Amino acid sequence: MEKKNIDWSSIGFAYMPTDYRYVSNFKDGKWDEGTLSTDPNIVLNECAGVLQYSQSVFEGLKAYTTEDGHIVTFRPDLNAERIAASAARLEMPVFPKERFIDAVEQVVKANAAWVPPYGSGATLYLRPYMFGSNAVIGVKPADEYQFRILTTPVGPYFKGGAKPITIRVSDYDRAAPCGTGNIKAGLNYAMSLHAIVDAHKQGFDENMYLDPKTRTKVEETGGANFIFVTKDGKVVTPKSDSILPSITRRSLIYVAKEYLGLEAEEREVYFDEVKDFAECGLCGTAAVISPVGKINDHGKEICFPSGMEKMGPVIQKLYDTLTGIQMGRIEAPKGWIHVIE
């Protein structure tokens, strides 16, 4: 199969329509059989549930080429489970797990020419999502839904090496206790937009959100979980019911314990103890890990000993091992690499 003529290493993270997307509709209490479509546009009623009451959930994963030339995705079963949990929380029907995986396979195969080659650093980003599609004016769940997977090629996250970023402690909250912080819903992002635009205006790359109830514990950023390393080399990640369960973070904790022999724990992390950590990173599908060099707490700076030039040594090891597993250079735990073709 001939690849598209794209300079893979120079594309950024922007939407570029590909040839096919997967579409399935839910009506009269059931999902239709689903199909691949060449139409990137959606026609919706002006009163569609998603437009009025934001009934929508999504996922994000990548298809990419491994060292031995296979097109694969990383742990798509966990994306299927997570979007099911997100949908249930917003009173949406669940798109079954086997169908989710089948849809991922279909859409990736159909767009194989858009999957960047091994070594380019680029990937084909998959965005599964679901939304209420029929007219809803009284506040209630929609009766009809559309599940869709769009794909778009994205460039290497770090061009010219991973430079540590500077983040600030946010005065805005991301997720209420007992709210929707633990599901992947567009509504969590809508309310984070003002905070991130403001952070950028003030010269910061990201917001660190604390728990809204006590403002003493670390939660996450707008779109990535935290991972810390203590001075004696233990990996620590915050535990909270209002954090989105990152697949990257869960994989890194496994890698820390099972591949690197490190101690790793998920527990409440007080902001007061952050200054004592040796390394800090943000984890998510897009970057795997972005190193954090500095945290600004209302003018007071926490500068990690790993500095502003490169990743700390433990985070670097975690990054190298997980990306090695993803790219097929290191043997993966059973079920992590889903071969598509």
Ligand X SMILES: *Cc1c(COP(=O)(O)O)cnc(C)c1O
Query: Which of these is catalytic: 62, 159, 184, 317?
Result: 184
Which of 153, 156, 284, 293 touches ligand X by CB under 6 A? 284
CB of 46 to ligand X, least distance (A): 28
Looking at beta carbons only, is 120 or 240 nearer to ligand X?
A: 240
CB of 98 to ligand X, least distance (A): 20
- Whether 97 and 81 have beta carbons less than 8 Å apart is answered as yes
Looking at beta carbons only, is 21 or 82 nearer to ligand X?
A: 82
Looking at beta carbons only, is 65 or 248 nearer to ligand X?
A: 248
Q: How far is it, in rounded angstroms, from Cα 192 to Cα 148?
A: 24
Which of 93, 116, 153, 223 touches ligand X by CB under 6 A? 223
Which of 71, 199, 224, 311 touches ligand X by CB under 6 A? 224
Does 220 help bind ligand X (rule: CB under 6 A)?
Answer: yes
SS (H, E, C) the chain: CCCCCCCHHHCCCCCCCCCCEEEEEEECCEECCCEEECCCCCCCCCCEHHHHHCCEEECCEEEEECCCCCEEEECHHHHHHHHHHHHHHCCCCCCCHHHHHHHHHHHHHHCHHHCCCCCCCCEEEEEEEEEECCECCCCCCCCCEEEEEEEEEECCCCCCCCCCEEEEECCCCCCCCCCCCCCCEHHHHHCCHHHHHHHHHCCCCEEECECCCCCCEECECCCCEEEEECCCCCEEEECCCCCCCCHHHHHHHHHHHHCCCCCEEEECCEHHHHCCCCEEEEEECCCEEEEEEEEEECCEEEECCCCCCCCCHHHHHHHHHHHHHHCCCCCCCCCCEEECC
Q: Per-residue x/- marks for ligand X, 51-90, CB under 6 A?
A: ---------x------------------------------
Kindly state the number of chain residues that form the binding site for ligand X, as judged by CB under 6 A: 14
Does 338 help bind ligand X (rule: CB under 6 A)?
Answer: no
CB of 331 to ligand X, least distance (A): 21
Looking at beta carbons only, is 47 or 176 nearer to ligand X?
A: 176
Does 184 help bind ligand X (rule: CB under 6 A)?
Answer: yes
Looking at beta carbons only, is 151 or 246 nearer to ligand X?
A: 246
Q: How far is it, in rounded angstroms, from Cα 196 to Cα 206?
A: 7
Looking at beta carbons only, is 16 or 187 nearer to ligand X?
A: 187
Does 225 help bind ligand X (rule: CB under 6 A)?
Answer: yes
CB of 246 to ligand X, least distance (A): 3
CB of 78 to ligand X, least distance (A): 7
Q: Per-residue x/- marks for ligand X, 244-263, CB under 6 A?
A: x-xxxx--------------
Instruction: Look up 97 and say whether it is catalytic.
Output: no
Please give the distance of CA 110 from its chain centroid, rounded to a whole number.
23
Interface residues toward ligand X, by CB under 6 A: 60, 184, 220, 223-225, 244, 246-249, 283-285
Q: Which residues are catalytic?
A: 184
